[in-house]
Chain A
Amino acid sequence: MRTVTVVGASLAGLYAARALRSQGFQGRLVIVGDEHHRPYDRPPLSKDFLKGETGQEQLALADAEEIAELDAEWVLGTRAAGLDDEGRTVRLAGGRALATDGVVIATGATPRRLPGPELSGVHTLRTLDDAQALRADLAGGPGRVVVIGGGFIGAEVASSCAALGHDVTVVEAAPLPLLPQLGEEMAGVCAALHGDHGVALVTGTGVAALRGEPGGRVTGVELADGRLLPADTVVVGIGVRPNTDWLAGSGIAVADGVVCDAGCVTALPHVVAVGDVARAGGSRTEHWTSATEQAAVAVHNLLAGATLMAHRAVPYFWSDQYGVRIQFAGRRLPTDTVRIVEGSPEDRSFLAAYERDGRTTAVLALNRPRPFMKQRRELMRAAQPVAS
Protein backbone atom coordinates (compact mmCIF):
# COMPACT_ATOMS: atom_id res chain seq x y z
CA MET A 1 0.00 0.00 0.00
CA ARG A 2 1.74 3.17 -1.17
CA THR A 3 -0.86 5.84 -0.42
CA VAL A 4 -3.44 5.98 2.34
CA THR A 5 -5.97 8.80 2.50
CA VAL A 6 -7.61 9.60 5.81
CA VAL A 7 -10.84 11.49 5.17
CA GLY A 8 -11.59 13.46 8.32
CA ALA A 9 -9.12 15.44 10.42
CA SER A 10 -10.61 15.24 13.87
CA LEU A 11 -10.00 12.81 16.72
CA ALA A 12 -10.63 9.55 14.85
CA GLY A 13 -8.76 10.71 11.74
CA LEU A 14 -5.74 11.86 13.74
CA TYR A 15 -5.64 8.62 15.72
CA ALA A 16 -5.84 6.66 12.46
CA ALA A 17 -2.90 8.67 11.08
CA ARG A 18 -0.93 8.00 14.26
CA ALA A 19 -1.78 4.32 14.07
CA LEU A 20 -0.67 4.13 10.44
CA ARG A 21 2.77 5.49 11.33
CA SER A 22 3.14 3.56 14.58
CA GLN A 23 2.13 0.34 12.82
CA GLY A 24 4.85 0.84 10.25
CA PHE A 25 3.17 2.46 7.26
CA GLN A 26 5.90 4.48 5.52
CA GLY A 27 4.05 5.47 2.39
CA ARG A 28 2.29 8.66 1.41
CA LEU A 29 -0.27 9.76 3.99
CA VAL A 30 -2.91 12.30 3.00
CA ILE A 31 -5.30 13.77 5.59
CA VAL A 32 -8.38 15.57 4.28
CA GLY A 33 -10.44 17.79 6.61
CA ASP A 34 -13.43 20.01 5.88
CA GLU A 35 -12.54 22.39 8.71
CA HIS A 36 -9.62 24.78 8.40
CA HIS A 37 -8.22 23.74 11.78
CA ARG A 38 -5.65 21.09 12.60
CA PRO A 39 -7.11 18.33 14.82
CA TYR A 40 -8.48 19.65 18.10
CA ASP A 41 -10.32 18.17 21.03
CA ARG A 42 -14.07 18.73 20.99
CA PRO A 43 -15.16 17.80 24.56
CA PRO A 44 -13.98 21.11 26.10
CA LEU A 45 -16.00 23.15 23.56
CA SER A 46 -19.20 22.86 25.61
CA LYS A 47 -17.40 23.29 28.92
CA ASP A 48 -14.22 25.24 29.68
CA PHE A 49 -13.91 26.71 26.20
CA LEU A 50 -17.47 28.03 26.27
CA LYS A 51 -16.85 29.51 29.71
CA GLY A 52 -13.71 31.21 28.43
CA GLU A 53 -11.48 29.23 30.78
CA THR A 54 -9.64 27.43 27.98
CA GLY A 55 -8.26 28.92 24.78
CA GLN A 56 -7.95 27.52 21.29
CA GLU A 57 -4.26 26.63 21.79
CA GLN A 58 -5.09 24.23 24.60
CA LEU A 59 -7.49 22.30 22.36
CA ALA A 60 -4.83 21.12 19.91
CA LEU A 61 -4.61 17.33 19.78
CA ALA A 62 -1.18 17.30 18.17
CA ASP A 63 1.71 19.72 18.64
CA ALA A 64 4.03 20.96 15.90
CA GLU A 65 6.59 18.28 16.67
CA GLU A 66 4.06 15.50 16.21
CA ILE A 67 2.63 17.07 13.07
CA ALA A 68 6.14 16.99 11.61
CA GLU A 69 6.69 13.39 12.73
CA LEU A 70 3.47 12.24 11.06
CA ASP A 71 4.86 13.42 7.74
CA ALA A 72 1.40 13.78 6.20
CA GLU A 73 -0.02 15.95 3.44
CA TRP A 74 -2.80 17.98 5.03
CA VAL A 75 -5.67 19.06 2.79
CA LEU A 76 -7.68 21.23 5.17
CA GLY A 77 -10.73 23.39 4.56
CA THR A 78 -11.73 20.96 1.83
CA ARG A 79 -14.69 18.63 1.88
CA ALA A 80 -14.52 15.18 0.35
CA ALA A 81 -17.16 15.00 -2.39
CA GLY A 82 -16.99 11.39 -3.47
CA LEU A 83 -15.29 8.02 -3.39
CA ASP A 84 -14.86 6.53 -6.87
CA ASP A 85 -13.18 3.62 -8.67
CA GLU A 86 -13.98 0.99 -6.03
CA GLY A 87 -12.48 3.17 -3.33
CA ARG A 88 -9.29 4.02 -5.22
CA THR A 89 -10.07 7.69 -5.82
CA VAL A 90 -11.12 10.30 -3.28
CA ARG A 91 -12.83 13.19 -5.05
CA LEU A 92 -12.62 16.58 -3.33
CA ALA A 93 -14.92 19.58 -3.47
CA GLY A 94 -13.46 21.83 -6.14
CA GLY A 95 -12.77 18.92 -8.44
CA ARG A 96 -9.37 17.61 -7.34
CA ALA A 97 -9.09 13.81 -7.28
CA LEU A 98 -6.67 11.90 -5.06
CA ALA A 99 -5.56 8.47 -6.23
CA THR A 100 -5.15 6.20 -3.23
CA ASP A 101 -4.59 2.59 -2.27
CA GLY A 102 -6.31 2.70 1.10
CA VAL A 103 -8.99 4.91 2.66
CA VAL A 104 -9.86 5.62 6.27
CA ILE A 105 -13.33 7.16 6.51
CA ALA A 106 -13.42 9.42 9.57
CA THR A 107 -15.87 12.09 8.48
CA GLY A 108 -17.75 12.27 11.77
CA ALA A 109 -21.25 13.65 12.08
CA THR A 110 -23.22 16.88 11.77
CA PRO A 111 -25.67 18.22 14.35
CA ARG A 112 -29.34 17.91 13.49
CA ARG A 113 -31.13 21.21 13.06
CA LEU A 114 -34.71 22.23 13.55
CA PRO A 115 -36.72 22.90 10.40
CA GLY A 116 -37.69 26.47 9.63
CA PRO A 117 -36.03 29.65 8.40
CA GLU A 118 -32.54 30.65 9.54
CA LEU A 119 -32.51 32.96 12.53
CA SER A 120 -29.51 34.56 14.15
CA GLY A 121 -28.96 33.62 17.77
CA VAL A 122 -29.73 29.96 17.03
CA HIS A 123 -26.73 27.67 17.44
CA THR A 124 -25.60 24.09 17.25
CA LEU A 125 -22.35 23.05 18.89
CA ARG A 126 -19.97 20.66 17.23
CA THR A 127 -17.00 22.53 15.84
CA LEU A 128 -14.57 25.13 17.13
CA ASP A 129 -16.21 27.68 14.85
CA ASP A 130 -19.61 26.80 16.35
CA ALA A 131 -18.23 27.26 19.85
CA GLN A 132 -16.63 30.58 18.99
CA ALA A 133 -19.88 31.87 17.52
CA LEU A 134 -21.85 30.80 20.58
CA ARG A 135 -19.25 32.22 22.94
CA ALA A 136 -19.39 35.55 21.15
CA ASP A 137 -23.18 35.54 21.29
CA LEU A 138 -23.18 34.86 25.04
CA ALA A 139 -20.65 37.60 25.75
CA GLY A 140 -23.24 40.35 25.37
CA GLY A 141 -24.26 40.12 29.01
CA PRO A 142 -26.80 38.00 30.88
CA GLY A 143 -29.69 36.90 28.72
CA ARG A 144 -32.31 34.21 28.32
CA VAL A 145 -30.88 31.01 26.87
CA VAL A 146 -33.07 28.10 25.81
CA VAL A 147 -31.29 24.80 25.22
CA ILE A 148 -33.26 22.34 23.11
CA GLY A 149 -32.28 18.77 23.98
CA GLY A 150 -31.24 17.58 27.42
CA GLY A 151 -28.52 15.12 26.40
CA PHE A 152 -24.90 15.60 27.34
CA ILE A 153 -24.21 18.45 24.92
CA GLY A 154 -27.37 20.24 26.00
CA ALA A 155 -26.71 19.71 29.70
CA GLU A 156 -23.10 20.84 29.43
CA VAL A 157 -24.05 23.96 27.48
CA ALA A 158 -26.77 24.71 30.04
CA SER A 159 -24.25 24.30 32.85
CA SER A 160 -21.73 26.58 31.14
CA CYS A 161 -24.37 29.22 30.34
CA ALA A 162 -25.61 29.18 33.95
CA ALA A 163 -22.01 29.63 35.15
CA LEU A 164 -21.77 32.65 32.85
CA GLY A 165 -24.80 34.19 34.56
CA HIS A 166 -27.49 33.51 31.97
CA ASP A 167 -31.08 32.58 32.70
CA VAL A 168 -31.26 29.05 31.26
CA THR A 169 -34.09 26.69 30.36
CA VAL A 170 -33.54 23.18 28.99
CA VAL A 171 -36.30 21.62 26.86
CA GLU A 172 -36.39 17.84 26.54
CA ALA A 173 -38.98 16.00 24.46
CA ALA A 174 -38.69 12.74 26.43
CA PRO A 175 -40.06 12.37 29.98
CA LEU A 176 -36.45 12.67 31.21
CA PRO A 177 -33.12 13.40 29.52
CA LEU A 178 -30.76 10.43 29.07
CA LEU A 179 -33.57 7.96 29.76
CA PRO A 180 -32.42 5.31 27.25
CA GLN A 181 -28.79 5.58 28.40
CA LEU A 182 -29.25 5.61 32.18
CA GLY A 183 -32.72 4.28 32.99
CA GLU A 184 -35.39 6.19 34.88
CA GLU A 185 -33.88 6.28 38.35
CA MET A 186 -30.41 7.49 37.40
CA ALA A 187 -31.67 9.76 34.62
CA GLY A 188 -33.78 11.39 37.32
CA VAL A 189 -30.72 12.03 39.48
CA CYS A 190 -28.81 13.58 36.58
CA ALA A 191 -31.82 15.69 35.59
CA ALA A 192 -31.97 17.07 39.13
CA LEU A 193 -28.55 18.68 38.63
CA HIS A 194 -30.23 21.37 36.51
CA GLY A 195 -32.58 22.40 39.30
CA ASP A 196 -29.72 22.33 41.83
CA HIS A 197 -28.13 25.15 39.88
CA GLY A 198 -31.15 27.25 39.05
CA VAL A 199 -31.67 25.95 35.53
CA ALA A 200 -35.26 25.17 34.54
CA LEU A 201 -35.92 21.80 32.92
CA VAL A 202 -39.04 21.38 30.79
CA THR A 203 -39.65 17.74 29.85
CA GLY A 204 -42.18 15.76 27.87
CA THR A 205 -42.76 18.36 25.21
CA GLY A 206 -41.21 18.94 21.85
CA VAL A 207 -40.60 22.20 20.05
CA ALA A 208 -43.25 23.45 17.64
CA ALA A 209 -41.31 26.35 16.17
CA LEU A 210 -38.68 28.97 16.76
CA ARG A 211 -40.04 32.50 16.90
CA GLY A 212 -38.42 35.46 15.18
CA GLU A 213 -38.66 37.55 12.04
CA PRO A 214 -37.22 35.69 9.02
CA GLY A 215 -33.65 36.85 8.58
CA GLY A 216 -33.71 38.44 12.04
CA ARG A 217 -32.90 37.25 15.51
CA VAL A 218 -34.66 34.54 17.48
CA THR A 219 -37.08 35.84 20.09
CA GLY A 220 -38.52 32.69 21.57
CA VAL A 221 -39.21 28.99 21.42
CA GLU A 222 -42.77 27.79 20.95
CA LEU A 223 -43.35 24.41 22.57
CA ALA A 224 -45.60 21.67 21.23
CA ASP A 225 -47.89 22.12 24.25
CA GLY A 226 -48.44 25.77 23.32
CA ARG A 227 -46.15 27.42 25.84
CA LEU A 228 -43.82 30.15 24.64
CA LEU A 229 -40.33 30.50 26.12
CA PRO A 230 -38.79 33.90 25.40
CA ALA A 231 -35.18 33.54 24.28
CA ASP A 232 -32.23 35.72 23.29
CA THR A 233 -30.12 32.72 22.37
CA VAL A 234 -31.12 29.17 21.46
CA VAL A 235 -28.81 26.16 21.41
CA VAL A 236 -30.05 23.07 19.59
CA GLY A 237 -28.58 19.78 20.85
CA ILE A 238 -30.86 17.12 19.41
CA GLY A 239 -28.35 14.63 18.14
CA VAL A 240 -26.26 14.19 15.02
CA ARG A 241 -26.39 12.68 11.56
CA PRO A 242 -23.32 10.76 10.35
CA ASN A 243 -21.55 12.42 7.42
CA THR A 244 -22.05 9.83 4.72
CA ASP A 245 -23.64 11.87 1.91
CA TRP A 246 -20.30 12.08 0.08
CA LEU A 247 -20.28 8.28 -0.23
CA ALA A 248 -23.40 8.19 -2.43
CA GLY A 249 -22.63 6.12 -5.50
CA SER A 250 -19.38 4.76 -4.04
CA GLY A 251 -20.71 1.27 -3.49
CA ILE A 252 -19.97 1.59 0.24
CA ALA A 253 -23.01 0.50 2.22
CA VAL A 254 -24.52 3.22 4.39
CA ALA A 255 -27.23 2.79 7.04
CA ASP A 256 -27.05 5.47 9.75
CA GLY A 257 -23.28 5.34 9.34
CA VAL A 258 -20.78 3.48 7.22
CA VAL A 259 -21.57 -0.21 7.52
CA CYS A 260 -18.48 -2.16 8.49
CA ASP A 261 -17.59 -5.31 10.39
CA ALA A 262 -16.43 -5.45 14.02
CA GLY A 263 -12.94 -4.74 12.74
CA CYS A 264 -14.13 -1.46 11.12
CA VAL A 265 -13.62 -2.87 7.59
CA THR A 266 -16.21 -2.16 4.87
CA ALA A 267 -17.08 -4.56 2.05
CA LEU A 268 -13.90 -3.25 0.40
CA PRO A 269 -10.90 -4.49 2.42
CA HIS A 270 -8.91 -1.33 1.62
CA VAL A 271 -11.63 0.98 2.97
CA VAL A 272 -12.18 1.22 6.73
CA ALA A 273 -14.32 3.53 8.87
CA VAL A 274 -13.71 4.92 12.36
CA GLY A 275 -15.35 7.22 14.91
CA ASP A 276 -18.83 8.73 14.88
CA VAL A 277 -19.42 7.88 11.22
CA ALA A 278 -18.72 4.14 11.57
CA ARG A 279 -21.43 1.58 12.15
CA ALA A 280 -19.04 -1.13 13.28
CA GLY A 281 -20.31 -4.59 14.05
CA GLY A 282 -23.91 -3.37 14.00
CA SER A 283 -23.66 -0.35 16.25
CA ARG A 284 -22.55 3.24 15.97
CA THR A 285 -21.02 4.98 18.98
CA GLU A 286 -20.28 8.65 19.40
CA HIS A 287 -17.80 8.35 22.23
CA TRP A 288 -14.34 9.92 22.41
CA THR A 289 -12.74 6.73 23.69
CA SER A 290 -14.19 4.39 21.07
CA ALA A 291 -13.04 6.72 18.27
CA THR A 292 -9.46 6.41 19.51
CA GLU A 293 -9.67 2.67 20.06
CA GLN A 294 -11.28 1.93 16.71
CA ALA A 295 -8.50 3.73 14.85
CA ALA A 296 -5.83 1.25 15.97
CA VAL A 297 -8.01 -1.74 15.08
CA ALA A 298 -9.11 -0.35 11.71
CA VAL A 299 -5.56 0.50 10.66
CA HIS A 300 -4.29 -2.91 11.70
CA ASN A 301 -6.88 -4.55 9.45
CA LEU A 302 -6.35 -2.05 6.63
CA LEU A 303 -2.62 -2.76 6.51
CA ALA A 304 -3.24 -6.51 6.75
CA GLY A 305 -5.81 -6.41 3.93
CA ALA A 306 -8.23 -8.45 6.01
CA THR A 307 -10.12 -8.34 9.31
CA LEU A 308 -7.66 -9.84 11.76
CA MET A 309 -8.75 -7.82 14.79
CA ALA A 310 -12.13 -6.78 16.18
CA HIS A 311 -12.97 -3.81 18.37
CA ARG A 312 -14.69 -5.18 21.46
CA ALA A 313 -14.17 -2.51 24.05
CA VAL A 314 -16.54 -1.72 26.87
CA PRO A 315 -18.32 1.54 25.94
CA TYR A 316 -17.27 4.46 28.10
CA PHE A 317 -18.35 8.09 28.21
CA TRP A 318 -18.21 10.97 30.61
CA SER A 319 -19.71 14.41 31.04
CA ASP A 320 -18.86 17.40 33.22
CA GLN A 321 -21.78 19.57 34.28
CA TYR A 322 -22.31 21.89 37.23
CA GLY A 323 -19.02 20.80 38.74
CA VAL A 324 -20.14 17.17 38.71
CA ARG A 325 -18.21 14.56 36.74
CA ILE A 326 -20.55 11.91 35.36
CA GLN A 327 -18.92 8.70 34.09
CA PHE A 328 -20.61 5.67 32.57
CA ALA A 329 -19.19 2.39 31.30
CA GLY A 330 -20.75 -0.81 30.07
CA ARG A 331 -23.75 -2.07 28.16
CA ARG A 332 -27.00 -1.59 29.98
CA LEU A 333 -30.32 -3.19 29.00
CA PRO A 334 -33.65 -1.61 30.01
CA THR A 335 -34.42 -4.63 32.21
CA ASP A 336 -31.23 -4.32 34.29
CA THR A 337 -31.66 -3.31 37.91
CA VAL A 338 -29.61 -0.52 39.43
CA ARG A 339 -28.03 -0.47 42.88
CA ILE A 340 -26.12 2.25 44.73
CA VAL A 341 -22.77 0.71 45.65
CA GLU A 342 -21.38 3.66 47.58
CA GLY A 343 -22.17 7.29 48.29
CA SER A 344 -25.61 8.79 47.87
CA PRO A 345 -27.58 10.35 45.02
CA GLU A 346 -28.72 13.14 47.37
CA ASP A 347 -25.08 14.22 47.75
CA ARG A 348 -24.58 13.97 43.96
CA SER A 349 -21.62 11.74 44.71
CA PHE A 350 -22.08 8.01 44.28
CA LEU A 351 -21.26 4.87 42.36
CA ALA A 352 -24.13 2.81 40.97
CA ALA A 353 -23.99 -0.64 39.38
CA TYR A 354 -26.43 -1.95 36.79
CA GLU A 355 -27.00 -5.66 37.26
CA ARG A 356 -28.51 -8.58 35.39
CA ASP A 357 -28.61 -12.16 36.68
CA GLY A 358 -26.16 -11.28 39.44
CA ARG A 359 -23.61 -9.82 37.01
CA THR A 360 -22.62 -6.18 36.70
CA THR A 361 -23.40 -4.95 33.19
CA ALA A 362 -22.59 -1.25 33.56
CA VAL A 363 -21.51 1.32 36.11
CA LEU A 364 -22.38 4.96 36.61
CA ALA A 365 -20.54 7.40 38.85
CA LEU A 366 -21.12 10.99 39.86
CA ASN A 367 -17.98 12.54 41.33
CA ARG A 368 -16.50 9.14 42.20
CA PRO A 369 -13.71 8.76 39.63
CA ARG A 370 -11.59 6.36 41.60
CA PRO A 371 -14.01 3.55 42.38
CA PHE A 372 -15.51 4.09 38.93
CA MET A 373 -12.17 3.38 37.32
CA LYS A 374 -11.81 0.19 39.33
CA GLN A 375 -15.25 -0.98 38.26
CA ARG A 376 -14.62 -0.03 34.65
CA ARG A 377 -11.43 -2.09 34.73
CA GLU A 378 -13.35 -5.06 36.02
CA LEU A 379 -15.91 -4.72 33.24
CA MET A 380 -13.07 -4.56 30.72
CA ARG A 381 -11.47 -7.66 32.20
CA ALA A 382 -14.75 -9.55 32.15
CA ALA A 383 -15.24 -8.58 28.47
CA GLN A 384 -11.88 -10.03 27.41
CA PRO A 385 -12.19 -13.23 25.43
CA VAL A 386 -10.99 -16.17 27.52
CA ALA A 387 -7.59 -17.35 26.33
CA SER A 388 -7.61 -20.94 25.17
Chain B
Amino acid sequence: MIPVCHLTDLPAGESVRIDTAPPIAVFNADGEIYAIDDTCTHQDASLADGWLEGCLVECPLHAASFDLRTGMPTCLPARRAVRTHPVTVEDGMIYVHHAAEEGTAA
Protein backbone atom coordinates (compact mmCIF):
# COMPACT_ATOMS: atom_id res chain seq x y z
CA MET B 1 0.00 0.00 0.00
CA ILE B 2 1.58 3.25 -1.16
CA PRO B 3 0.48 6.60 0.28
CA VAL B 4 -0.03 9.13 -2.54
CA CYS B 5 -1.24 12.44 -1.10
CA HIS B 6 -4.21 13.98 0.64
CA LEU B 7 -7.43 13.97 -1.33
CA THR B 8 -7.55 17.75 -1.01
CA ASP B 9 -4.18 17.95 -2.78
CA LEU B 10 -5.55 16.19 -5.86
CA PRO B 11 -8.53 18.23 -7.06
CA ALA B 12 -10.82 17.06 -9.87
CA GLY B 13 -9.02 17.03 -13.23
CA GLU B 14 -5.57 16.75 -11.65
CA SER B 15 -3.04 13.95 -11.69
CA VAL B 16 0.12 13.01 -9.87
CA ARG B 17 2.94 10.59 -10.66
CA ILE B 18 4.43 8.40 -7.97
CA ASP B 19 7.96 7.16 -8.43
CA THR B 20 7.41 3.47 -7.99
CA ALA B 21 9.13 1.04 -10.35
CA PRO B 22 7.50 1.24 -12.82
CA PRO B 23 5.92 4.62 -12.00
CA ILE B 24 2.18 4.93 -11.39
CA ALA B 25 -0.10 7.81 -12.35
CA VAL B 26 -3.00 8.72 -10.04
CA PHE B 27 -5.95 10.74 -11.39
CA ASN B 28 -8.94 12.51 -9.94
CA ALA B 29 -11.54 12.10 -12.69
CA ASP B 30 -14.45 14.26 -11.52
CA GLY B 31 -14.21 12.93 -7.98
CA GLU B 32 -13.29 9.31 -8.74
CA ILE B 33 -9.69 8.38 -8.03
CA TYR B 34 -7.91 6.00 -10.44
CA ALA B 35 -4.38 4.65 -10.64
CA ILE B 36 -2.72 3.21 -13.75
CA ASP B 37 0.81 2.56 -14.90
CA ASP B 38 2.26 5.94 -15.81
CA THR B 39 4.15 4.97 -18.96
CA CYS B 40 2.22 4.88 -22.22
CA THR B 41 2.37 1.42 -23.80
CA HIS B 42 3.09 2.96 -27.18
CA GLN B 43 6.18 5.01 -26.45
CA ASP B 44 7.98 6.53 -23.53
CA ALA B 45 5.71 9.26 -22.23
CA SER B 46 4.16 9.97 -18.85
CA LEU B 47 0.38 9.60 -18.75
CA ALA B 48 0.28 11.76 -15.60
CA ASP B 49 1.19 14.57 -18.00
CA GLY B 50 -1.67 13.61 -20.27
CA TRP B 51 -4.98 15.23 -21.03
CA LEU B 52 -7.79 14.05 -18.74
CA GLU B 53 -11.30 14.07 -20.10
CA GLY B 54 -13.95 12.14 -18.19
CA CYS B 55 -12.51 8.69 -17.59
CA LEU B 56 -10.07 8.90 -20.48
CA VAL B 57 -6.50 10.11 -20.45
CA GLU B 58 -4.74 11.08 -23.66
CA CYS B 59 -0.99 10.53 -23.94
CA PRO B 60 0.88 13.85 -24.30
CA LEU B 61 3.15 12.55 -27.06
CA HIS B 62 1.03 10.74 -29.65
CA ALA B 63 -2.56 11.15 -28.45
CA ALA B 64 -3.05 7.48 -27.58
CA SER B 65 -5.99 7.32 -25.19
CA PHE B 66 -6.63 4.98 -22.24
CA ASP B 67 -9.70 4.25 -20.13
CA LEU B 68 -8.74 4.84 -16.49
CA ARG B 69 -11.28 2.23 -15.31
CA THR B 70 -9.89 -0.66 -17.33
CA GLY B 71 -6.48 0.47 -18.59
CA MET B 72 -7.61 -0.43 -22.11
CA PRO B 73 -6.50 1.75 -25.01
CA THR B 74 -9.46 3.40 -26.72
CA CYS B 75 -7.66 4.37 -29.90
CA LEU B 76 -4.42 3.97 -31.80
CA PRO B 77 -1.45 4.15 -31.68
CA ALA B 78 -1.56 2.23 -28.38
CA ARG B 79 -2.77 -1.34 -28.66
CA ARG B 80 -1.72 -2.76 -25.28
CA ALA B 81 -3.44 -1.97 -22.01
CA VAL B 82 -1.77 -0.26 -19.10
CA ARG B 83 -2.15 -1.94 -15.71
CA THR B 84 -4.68 -0.51 -13.31
CA HIS B 85 -4.09 -0.42 -9.56
CA PRO B 86 -6.69 -0.44 -6.80
CA VAL B 87 -7.07 2.82 -4.88
CA THR B 88 -8.48 3.46 -1.41
CA VAL B 89 -9.05 6.67 0.52
CA GLU B 90 -8.62 6.46 4.28
CA ASP B 91 -8.94 9.47 6.58
CA GLY B 92 -8.62 11.76 3.58
CA MET B 93 -5.41 10.09 2.40
CA ILE B 94 -5.15 8.38 -1.03
CA TYR B 95 -3.44 4.98 -1.12
CA VAL B 96 -2.51 2.89 -4.15
CA HIS B 97 -2.34 -0.88 -3.85
CA HIS B 98 0.35 -1.92 -6.28
CA ALA B 99 -1.02 -4.64 -8.56
CA ALA B 100 1.19 -7.70 -8.92
CA GLU B 101 3.51 -7.62 -11.93
CA GLU B 102 1.56 -10.26 -13.82
CA GLY B 103 -1.86 -8.90 -12.86
CA THR B 104 -2.95 -6.90 -15.86
CA ALA B 105 -6.37 -5.38 -15.83
CA ALA B 106 -7.17 -6.34 -19.39
Contacts and interface: CB of A to CB of B under 8 A. Distances in A.
Q: Do A and B come from one complex?
A: yes
Interface of A: 15, 18, 41, 43-44, 48, 61, 63, 66, 288-289, 292, 318, 327, 369-370, 372-374, 377
B61 interface: yes
A66 B79 contact: yes
Contacts of A44: 43
Main secondary structure of the interface of A (DSSP, over half): helix
Contact of A288 (B46, B58, B60, B62): B62
Contacts of A61: 77
B79 A63 contact: yes
Interface in B6-40: none
A48 B39 CA distance: 15
B49 A373 contact: yes
18 contacts: A15-B76, A18-B76, A43-B43, A44-B43, A48-B44, A66-B79, A288-B62, A289-B62, A292-B77, A318-B61, A369-B46, A369-B49, A369-B60, A369-B61, A370-B49, A373-B50, A373-B58, A373-B60
B4 interface: no
A377 B51 contact: yes
B41 to A, nearest CB: 10
B56 interface: no
Interface of B: 43-46, 49-51, 58, 60-63, 76-77, 79
Contacts, number: 31
A373 B79 CA distance: 22
A263 B60 CA distance: 26
A226 to B, nearest CB: 42
A370 B43 contact: no
A289 to B, nearest CB: 7
Contact of B51 (A15, A66, A292, A373): A373
Contacts of A48: 44
A41 B60 contact: no
Contacts of B61: 318, 369
Contacts of A292: 76-77
B50 to A, nearest CB: 7
A66 B76 CA distance: 12
Contacts of B43: 41, 43-44
Q: Which 8 A-B pairs have the closest CB atoms?
A: A369-B49, A369-B60, A370-B49, A373-B60, A373-B51, A63-B79, A318-B61, A377-B51
Nearest to B76: A18
Contacts of B63: 289
A327 B46 CA distance: 14
A63 B42 CA distance: 12
Contacts of B46: 369
A289 B43 CA distance: 14
A327 B61 CA distance: 9
A373 B50 CA distance: 7
Nearest to A44: B43
A177 B60 CA distance: 25
B43 to A, nearest CB: 7
A200 B63 CA distance: 35
Contact of A369 (B45, B76, B77, B79): B45
Given A289-B62, A369-B61, A377-B51, 8 more contacts: A43-B43, A61-B77, A66-B79, A369-B46, A369-B49, A370-B49, A372-B60, A373-B50
